Amino acid sequence: MSDPMLKIAVVGHTNTGKTSLLRTLTRNSEFGEVADSPGTTRHVEGARLKLDGKPVLEWFDTPGMEDSIALLEYLERLDNPDTRRDGPARIRRFLDSPEAHRRYEQEARVLTKMLDCDAALYVIDARDPVLSKHRDELALLAACGRPLLPVLNFVNAPAHRADEWRDAMSRLGLHAALEFDTVAPPLDGERQLYAKLAVLLDRHASILHRLSDAMVLQRTERSQAAWQLAADLLIDVAALRVASPPDDEALQTHAATLREQVRRREQACVDALLALYNFHRSDYAEDGLPLTDTRWGMDLFHPQALKDMGIQLGTGMAAGAMAGAAVDMLSAGLSLGTGMLIGAAAGGLWQGVERFGGRLMGKLRGYREITVDDAVLRLLAMRQRQLINALERRGHAARDPVHLDRPADKAWRSGRLPDALKEARSRPEWSALNKGHEDDERRKRTIAELARILAAQDGGS
């Protein structure tokens, strides 16, 4: 026989972030409705979590309690001095009274759901002072006879009162509390939440621990996938080559083509990262996107944008001629001299000559190859690192979009580029932006190694 589904209510005063908490826990920014005005949630809404395809836990978002002081007084008037009732019985008597469908209809919805659930999270806006209305709320909720875990929201605000709330909770017998900012939750916040619930609900501890392990595994897999996406972008861009006739006008035209290819490739990576973390394009500030318009501040190829990130420019870029593109005029990026290549091709002695034959013939006709400057590769790496780290720490209740600032990535700003990118320079077939793209095993291993380098927490900072 399977275990019954665990039901947990999310309760608290109006506008403390109950819906925001559930958005973050369910990784769904569209759950419920969030607004600055009080009383946004007027009904009970649920969301289920699954393990192995089966629902095991159901969250319930409830309306805010607004009139707890008057309701507690009303319950005292309902009490019969000749009849002793425990807490749940007192609450049920209130729910059978006419006022439960009139003045206290919203509180009645909350208490009805409390009685129907196994436990509840009591969400607190840690910026608020501890008032008598909060104590009366807790008295009403405690009367339902269900385990209650206080959750301190907005603890990243500079003027929060988390210590005051912890002291007040302990005076009411609630010694287990959790700090969980719904806008920027701690990386191990979910693990802490399920661990504390497992203590309060020991009969359901196995399910809660399994849920916690599943969440950790999902987060690990999501992070690995994100760094793979970033590494794939860098390999595609490093290996990209555009051939151009030797005249200056054609060179500028083909350089513009290369820049546009790179911009679109980065945009595709950004979109994939946002989708991976279940965010939308509106969650990323428009002025951080490379394709919004042509202003230099939004253009990863503009020399000023690179300077603002502290990246040293190459000589070609410093002159402003190619704006982030490098022109290979001598050997077309080949490690062997032209004479040796011709001899190897004529004798059929070099097994890789087919790959470079077209490039060699272009070289003999005076064509030039345009590649992306190292400075742009550095900027791309820094942008993806910063975006991924921001998404890792972003709650689905956050309303302000992510803005990319100047990061402290010293290694990526001026250090030695990884060997993976240097190898990609000599392998144009590795770029999905080039014709004849080959996603061979060597490329896959190189991307995996580059992903590990990108994910390094210090980043050389």
Q: Which of 151, 370, 135 is nearest to 239 (CA)?
A: 370
The per-residue DSSP string of 96-140 comes to TSGGGGTTTHHHHHHHHHHHHSSEEEEEEETTSPP-HHHHHHHHH
- Of the chain, the percentage scoring pLDDT greater than 70 comes to 77
pLDDT tens per residue, range 332-341:
333 333 333 3
- The per-residue b/e assignment along 47-58, b for 16 or more CB within 10 angstroms, e otherwise, is bebeeeeeebbb
Strand, coil or helix: 267: helix
Q: What's the mean pLDDT when you consider all of the chain?
A: 80
pLDDT number for residue 309: 63
Q: Rounded CA gap, 87 and 143, in Å? A: 4
pLDDT of residue 40: 44
pLDDT value at position 312?
64
Predicted pLDDT of residue 149: 96
Summarised one tens digit per residue, pLDDT across range 253-302 is 888 888 889 989 999 999 999 999 999 988 887 554 343 333 333 355 65
pLDDT of residue 204: 94
- Tell me the C-alpha distance between 239 and 252, whole Å: 20
Q: What are the residue ranges of helices labelled H in 370-418?
A: 374-392, 410-414
Q: Which pair of tokens denotes residue 392? A: 């890792």
Which of 27-36, 59-68, 117-126, 421-430 is predicted least confidently? 27-36
213-217, 302-306, 327-331, 340-344: segment of lowest average pLDDT? 340-344
So what's the pLDDT on residue 284? 86
Q: Is the pTM of this model over 0.85?
A: no
Of the candidates 250, 249, 246, 240, the one whose C-alpha atom is nearest the C-alpha of residue 362 is 246
Indicate if the pLDDT at residue 348 is higher than 70: no
Tell me what the mean pLDDT of segment 435-444 comes to: 94
Please give the residue that has the higher pLDDT: either 224 or 281.
224
Report the pLDDT value the prediction gives residue 197, as an integer from 0 to 100.
Answer: 96
The pLDDT value given to residue 2: 59
Quote the pLDDT of residue 329. 40
In this predicted structure, what is the pLDDT of residue 303? 59
Residue 349 is predicted with a pLDDT of 34
Question: Residue 434: pLDDT above 50?
Answer: yes
CA neighbor of 88 nearest in space, from 114, 64, 122: 114
What's the token pair of residue 449?
């190694």
For residue 401, pLDDT beyond 60: yes
Residue 407 DSSP class: -
Rounded to whole angstroms, how far apart are CA atoms 46 and 368?
Answer: 61
Q: Is the pLDDT of residue 159 over 80?
A: yes
First to last CA, the chain: 54
Q: Provide the pLDDT for residue 433.
A: 94
Instruction: Report which DSSP code applies to 65.
Output: B
Contacts of 262 by beta carbon, 8 Å cutoff, 6+ apart: 237, 240, 300, 301, 372, 376, 380, 433
Question: Residue 451 above 90 pLDDT?
Answer: yes
How many Cβ atoms from other residues are within 10 Å of residue 234's Cβ?
28
Pairing status of strand 6-12 against strand 119-125: parallel
Q: Residue 372: beta bridge partners?
A: 325
Local confidence band at 345 (pLDDT 50, 70, 90 cut-offs):
very low
Q: Which amino acid is at 452?
A: R
Place of tokens 């006709």: 365
pLDDT (0 to 100) of residue 397: 85
Q: Which domains does the chain have, with CATH numbers?
A: 6-31+43-200 (3.40.50.300), 219-314+366-455 (no CATH)
Confidence category of residue 15, pLDDT binned at 50, 70, 90: confident
Rounded average pLDDT over 149-155: 95
Exposure b/e, 310-345, CB count within 10 A at least 16 = b: ebebbebbeeeebbbbbbbeeebbbebeeeebeebb
In this model, does residue 454 exceed pLDDT 90?
yes
CB atoms closer than 10 angstroms to residue 39: 12
Beta strand ranges found along 195-299 (DSSP E): 242-244
| 4-18, 222-236, 407-421 — most confident range | 222-236
Query: Which residues is 120 bridged to in the sheet?
Result: 9, 148
